[in-house]
Copies of this chain bind each other. A is one copy, B any other.
């Protein structure tokens, strides 16, 4: 099993975190997004959307979308509950994560840390603030996003939420979210190897899908 991976990407970190929690072995192939490594024809054959991560199974099957990869790896483990309703609730939060958390907190953080900003920044910051409010309301009466144990929904949402302060959010104002972040950190074999964006992530320093 091979993970095409970028070490500063929260979407990639999600997958590394689950693989660590599961104690799974895999080959990690580093892809430098900002050195143009997702812009090649070879990378387009892995993922026409030119995004990371990509999971390549031993038979060559390619799986895209970080949250779909989490579902695949988690199926049959405690991280994906049995039962159609609970699985649909996990998928509900994975879609929320992509739409509100990654695209709100994650995009705002990326733009701010790499000096992008632009006229969409305020809207993304507001989207992220609403996402934190919705998480806070849910976690005031629930220990986890689905059921009472950590699932791939929590792992996906953890990835960009735990670094929300980088985008200027004050997590002190979200005590239930903060307590939940701490609960995720208590999972056996927890890993945090998300690295800061490197210098070549700034506009004009590298070449990526973000600067075409």
A residues touching B (Cβ–Cβ < 8 Å)?
Answer: 48-49, 57, 61, 63-65, 67-69, 71-72, 75-76, 84-85, 87-89, 91-92, 94-96, 98-100, 119-120, 130, 133-134, 137
| Chain B residues within 8 Å of A92, by CB | 63-65, 68
Pairwise interchain contact B84-A134, C-beta atoms closer than 8 A: no
Contacts of A48 in B (CB 8 A): 133-134, 137
- Taking the closest CB of chain B, its distance from the CB of A51, in whole angstroms, is 9
Q: Please state if B85 and A72 are interface contacts (CB–CB under 8 Å).
A: yes
- A-B contacts, 25 of them at CB < 8 A, read A48-B134, A49-B100, A49-B130, A49-B134, A63-B85, A63-B92, A64-B92, A64-B96, A65-B95, A65-B96, A68-B91, A68-B95, A69-B88, A71-B87, A71-B91, A72-B84, A72-B85, A72-B88, A75-B84, A75-B87, A76-B84, A91-B91, A94-B95, A95-B95, A120-B120
Q: Is the CB–CB distance between A65 and B84 below 8 Å?
A: no
Residue of B nearest to A119 (CB): B119
